[in-house]
A and B are shown apart, each in its own frame.
Chain A
C-alpha cells in the first residue's frame, strides 16, 4: 500500500502508468508487461474520426532518445470504444483516454462521447502533440486558447480531466494556472519535444513528416525542470512523463512535485520497466524510512 496514490480523483494501486501512445490497444503487450507494476493505462490519442497518421519513416533513434512522427494514427472514437477500450480494461487497471483533436468542436464532441463511457477513469486532454499540422499543439501554445478549450471540455464531461501540456511554451507556470482555473483536475507533462534529424548522405530529413517529437532519457532533465516549475505554480496533481526509465528517474519526478509518473519510450526497450520501477521505489522508501510515496512529493530541498 505504500505506493497507492490518487491522481485527480483517480485511485491508483501503483504510481506508475503506461504513457499515451506506447501501450497500443492493450493486446500487444500481453505476456510482456506484468500488470503488477502498473497503476493505470493511458490510451493512445483518440480523435473523433479515424486518422491515418503521418507518412513513413516515423521513427529515428537518437542518443538516449528517439524521434517519432506517428501523427495521431487511430481508428477514431467509435473503434476505440468498441474494440480497444474493452481490451485495455481487461488489464484490470484504470484506463485514461488521451483525447486529441483538430478543432475545438472535435475535442468537445469526442470528450462528450468519452464522458458517457462508464468504464473510463479519466481523460488526458492532449493539447501538445507536436506531430500534426493543425490542432494538437496549437491549442497548447497559447494559455488563453488552452483555457477556452479546457473550459468547453469541462462543460461536457464529469470525468477527471488531466491536461497534457506542451513543454514548448514561454511561461509554463502561467499556462498551468490558466488551465487550472478553467477546470482541469490535474496536469500531465511533458509531451515530446519538437525535434528533427537529417540524413547527411541524402540531405533529407530522417522523418517523413520532416519534424517529430523527442522522447526517452534525453528528455528527462528537461521534463524534471518543467514539472518542478509547474508544481511551484499550481496546486493541481501532476502526472510526470518524460524519459522515465528507472526508479531513480521516478523518484526525481516525485521530489519535484509529481503525484504519479508515466513510462513511455522505456517500455519499448524493456516492457518490464513499470515493475522494476515499483520494486525500486519500495526498496527506496524502506531505505529512507518512509511509509508512503506521498512523503516524497514536492520534497526537493532548494
Chain B
C-alpha cells in the first residue's frame, strides 16, 4: 500500500531520530519486523526509497527510528510536523511470532532496536515474557530511549565505552549472562553481530530469528537486488524485502553473507 503520511512528531533521542507519521492503513496492518519504504526527497538526485523497520504501530500512527547515515536519512531527519511523506508499506515478512511461546531474548545492536521494540510490545500484549539486550557505542547514542524501554521489559544494556550498563558488546553481555533460560532469540543489528549470535545460539540449541539489513531498490521483490544467501541446494538467494527481512538464522548461509 502506498500513501501520503503526515509527520506527527520528530523526536531526537541522542543521535537517533524517532519519527511518527499518520498512516492508519499501515499502522493497522503492520507486524513486528515489517518495514516501510520511504521516499526521502521528492525532487532529489536520490533515486531510491529508504527502508525502515517499524518501531511502533498504534492507533493511526506508526513510527520509525533511525540515525542520520547519509543524504536520505538527513533529509528525513529534517522533516517537521505536518510535512507529508510518500510511504509504501507495510512490506516484507516479519518475525514468526507463532514460533515464540515465551521466554524470548531480544537482542539489538544500535538502531536494530526498532523492530525488536515493536516485537516486545506485541509479545507483551500476548502476555509472553521477553528480555531485551541492547548494545550501543555509548549511552548518549539514544538519549532517554533505553530508560523508556527498560520500563517495557527487563532490559540490559551494553555500551562499548562502558558509559552505561556493561562495558563491551551485547554479545559479551549475553555470553556472560548465558542464554540458558530462553526458548527463543530474536535479533536485529550489524551483520557481524548477527553472525556471532547465530553461532552462540547454535551452540546452545536455541532457535534464532534475525532481521537482516540490506540495501533495497524496489522493496517489493521485483528487482532482486537485496539478495540474502540461503542454504538451498543448489545454493541460492532469497530477497530481504519480500522473503524477509526476518529469517530463521538456520536458513541463512552465513559463510556467503555479503
Q: Which residues of A sit under 8 angstroms from B234, Cβ to Cβ?
A: 52
A89 contacts the other chain (Cβ, under 8 Å)?
Answer: no
The reply to whether A268 and B217 contact each other, CB–CB distance below 8 Å, is yes
Contact A53 B224 (CB under 8 A): yes
Query: Do residues B258 and A208 form an inter-chain contact, with CB atoms below 8 A?
Result: yes
In the complex, which of the residues B1, B88, B237 contacts A53, with contact meaning CB atoms closer than 8 Å? Answer: B237
Set B86, B218, B219, B226: member contacting A22, Cβ < 8 A: B218
Contact A21 B223 (CB under 8 A): yes
Does B222 belong to the interface (CB within 8 Å)?
yes
**Can you list, as one digit per residue, whether each of A46-59 has a CB less than 8 Å from chain B (1) or not (0)?**
00000011111111
Mark out the residues of chain A between 79 and 118 whose CB falls within 8 Å of any chain B CB in the assembled complex. Answer: none
CB distance from A26 to the nearest CB of B (A): 9
Q: Which A residues are closer than 8 A to B by beta carbons?
A: 21-25, 28-29, 31-32, 44, 52-61, 63-66, 68, 70, 73, 208, 216-217, 265-271
- Distance of A60 Cα from B236 Cα, bound (Å): 21
Which residue numbers of B lie inside 8 Å of A, CB to CB?
A: 1-2, 39, 45-49, 86, 88, 214-229, 234-237, 242, 256-258
- Whether B215 contacts A59 by the Cβ 8 Å rule is yes
- Complex A-B: 21 CB contacts under 8 Å: A22-B218, A23-B222, A25-B222, A28-B222, A28-B242, A29-B222, A52-B236, A52-B237, A56-B214, A56-B237, A56-B258, A57-B258, A61-B46, A65-B47, A68-B217, A70-B225, A217-B47, A267-B218, A268-B48, A268-B218, A271-B88
For residue B233, give the distance in angstroms from its CB to the closest CB of chain A: 11
A59 touches B217 (CB 8 A): yes
From B48, B218, B221, B226, contact of A58 by CB (8 A): B226
Task: Establish whether residues B48 and A66, one from each chain, have CB atoms under 8 Å apart when the complex forms.
Answer: yes
Tell me which of A32, A268, A270 contacts B223 (CB under 8 A).
Answer: A268
Which of A23, A55, A271 sits near B229, CB closer than 8 Å? A55
CB pair B237–A73 under 8 Å, yes or no, is yes
Quote the shortest CB–CB distance from A95 to chain B (angstroms).
Answer: 15
Alpha-carbon distance between A5 and B2 when the two chains are bound, in angstroms: 30
**Shortest beta-carbon distance, B50 to chain A, in Å?**
10
A24 B258 Cβ-Cβ under 8 A:
no
Contacts of B218 in A (CB 8 A): 22, 24, 28, 267-268
Asked if B220 and A216 sit within 8 Å, CB to CB, the answer is no
Which residues of B are found within 8 Å of A58, using beta-carbon distances? 224-227
A68 touches B223 (CB 8 A): yes
CA distance A75 to B46 in the complex (A): 31
Which of B215, B219, B229, B257 has most A Cβ within 10 Å? B215
Q: A28-B222, A52-B236, A63-B45 are in contact. List 14 more A-B contacts (CB 8 A).
A: A22-B218, A22-B222, A24-B223, A52-B235, A64-B47, A66-B217, A68-B217, A70-B224, A73-B224, A73-B227, A73-B237, A216-B47, A269-B49, A270-B39
Q: Please name all residues of chain B whose beta carbon is closer than 8 Å to the beta carbon of A53 when the two chains form the complex.
A: 224, 227, 237
**Alpha-carbon gap, A59 to B215, bound state (A):** 6
For A217, what are the chain B residues with a Cβ–Cβ distance below 8 Å?
45, 47
Minimum CB–CB distance for A58 against chain B, Å: 5
CA distance A266 to B47 in the complex (A): 7
Chain A residues whose CB sits within 8 angstroms of the CB of B86 once the complex forms: 270
Contact partners of A55 in chain B: CB under 8 A: 227, 229, 256, 258
Q: Are B47 and A28 in contact (CB under 8 A)?
A: no
**Residues in chain B near residue A268, CB distance under 8 A:** 47-49, 217-219, 223
Residue in A21, A24, A64 whose Cβ sees the most chain B Cβ within 10 Å? A24
A47 to chain B minimum Cβ distance, whole angstroms, is 13
Bound complex: CA of A90 vs CA of B257, how far in Å?
Answer: 36
The interface residues of chain A lying within 8 Å CB-to-CB of B237 are 52-53, 56, 73
